Amino acid sequence: MLSGSEIMKLIEQGKLVIEPFSEEIVRENGVDLRIGDEVAILLNNPTPIDPTRISDYDLREYYKVMRLDDEGIVMQPYMKVLVSTLESIEMPGDIAGFIELRSTFARLGLSIPPTIIDAGFRGQITLEIHGGAFPVILRKGVRFAHVVFMRVEGKPKPYSGKYQGQRGVTLPR
């Protein structure tokens, strides 16, 4: 795991790019990520979706995508949403990241599934957030997730998948 000073060195050398960047998001051993301006609410649709045939479906029947305004969004109990990060990240070819929820939000009952940023990935990050037992407000620009960085051993294969360069909330492809 890289320390905050090692992360700053990578940023200063242009090997790790975070836009928009502010030194205050670099922490002791990671970087805080802020909520971006787009959210997708997962809708209750009883029709099964086949992940191997995503292009056969009208995803508007499964997600409601919307812009976040200054009021944010109220995460109702047990609601699930996708959010994009404010930050766009360009990862070096030998560094990967692991994202977790900041403890304040976890203590409010929210959770996110394990999320990896692959070496070589570039773009905004789409995260799934699960609501807890009571409503919680999510606002654009609030630090809500934390990414820790690690070096990839051996000969890394940089990410070249279908989500490369994503902007805003990116639905399944």
Q: Of the listed 6, 90, 100, 128, which one is catalytic?
A: 128
Rg (CA), the chain: 17
Whether 162 contacts 118, CB under 8 Å: no
Non-local (6+) Cβ contacts of 84 within 8 A are: 36, 37, 38, 39, 124, 125, 126, 127, 167, 168, 169, 170
71 is catalytic: no
Non-local (6+) Cβ contacts of 162 within 8 A are: 173
End-to-end CA distance of the chain: 31
Active-site residues, by number, are 128
